[in-house]
């Protein structure tokens, strides 16, 4: 790649790209080498931007992006640390700690309810949060009527006693879902007991 410097370190090739412009789409930047990467089944981990080589720490972020990305999206050739940094934060914070210490108690309550009554409320809440709390988009994502989403959200509010119109509540629930997703893909901790 023009303007880059490469070196070998611990069975990895490090490519340092120096530019005065911020690279916003690494996919476009990597397109010239992507076919060769696929041909030889090579993968790339991309760290956040550093102002100094001294901040790089032997490619720690790039390696961590590959480690997490290979589990979450195993067929991709390029893994950016910025896409996986939240999972890295969870790995660091959950190490040796029970998930219940961080997961919102309201989500645990809803999970217990769904374990006994079916999982559509949990699925609806997760879709609702992923759709930016847009009920119409949630209905479309779940392939259900808008009134069904409204009814389920009312049930969720009744069970959890949580107002999801409050940004902080929605953020905490979304982070709790991310922690559960992390636990599912990286079962380094004991399984969550809802019994």
What pLDDT, on the 0 to 100 scale, is given for residue 56? 58
| For the ranges 9-23, 138-152, 165-179, the one whose mean pLDDT is highest | 138-152
**Digit-coded pLDDT (tens) for 93-119:** 766 566 666 788 899 899 999 999 999
Higher-confidence position of 125 and 43: 125
DSSP symbol at 50:
-
CATH architecture designation of domain 99-185: Orthogonal Bundle (1.10)
**Digit-coded pLDDT (tens) for 47-92:** 777 666 555 555 678 878 888 888 888 778 778 888 888 888 777 7
**Digit-coded pLDDT (tens) for 133-146:** 999 999 999 999 99
Domain ranges for the chain: 4-94, 99-185
**Digit-coded pLDDT (tens) for 171-189:** 999 988 888 887 777 765 4
Structure tokens, 22: 């911020």
Structure tokens, 54: 């001294």
What pLDDT, on the 0 to 100 scale, is given for residue 157? 95
What pLDDT, on the 0 to 100 scale, is given for residue 195? 40
Q: Look at the pTM and tell me if it is higher than 0.75.
A: no
CA distance 8 to 14: 6
What pLDDT, on the 0 to 100 scale, is given for residue 92? 75
Task: Using the Cα atoms of residue 41, residue 45, residue 46 and residue 50 in order, give the sign of their dihedral.
Answer: negative
């Amino acid at each position: 790649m023009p303007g880059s410097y490469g070196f070998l370190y611990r069975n990895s090739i490090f490519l340092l790209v120096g530019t005065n412009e911020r690279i916003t789409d690494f996919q476009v930047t990597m397109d010239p080498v992507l076919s060769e990467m696929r041909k030889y089944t090579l993968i790339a981990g991309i760290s956040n931007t550093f102002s100094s080589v001294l901040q790089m720490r032997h490619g720690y972020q790039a390696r961590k992006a590959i480690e997490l990305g290979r589990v979450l999206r195993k067929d991709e050739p390029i893994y950016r640390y910025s896409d996986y940094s939240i999972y890295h934060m969870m790995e660091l914070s959950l190490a040796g700690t029970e998930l219940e210490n961080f997961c919102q108690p309201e989500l645990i309550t809803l999970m217990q309810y769904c374990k006994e009554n079916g999982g559509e409320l949990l699925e609806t809440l997760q879709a609702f949060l992923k759709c930016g709390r847009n009920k119409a988009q949630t209905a479309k994502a779940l392939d259900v009527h808008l009134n069904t989403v409204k009814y389920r959200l009312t049930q969720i509010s009744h069970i959890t006693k949580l107002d999801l119109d409050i940004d902080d509540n929605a953020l905490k629930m979304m982070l709790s879902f991310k922690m559960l997703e992390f636990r599912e893909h990286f079962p380094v901790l004991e399984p969550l007991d809802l019994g």
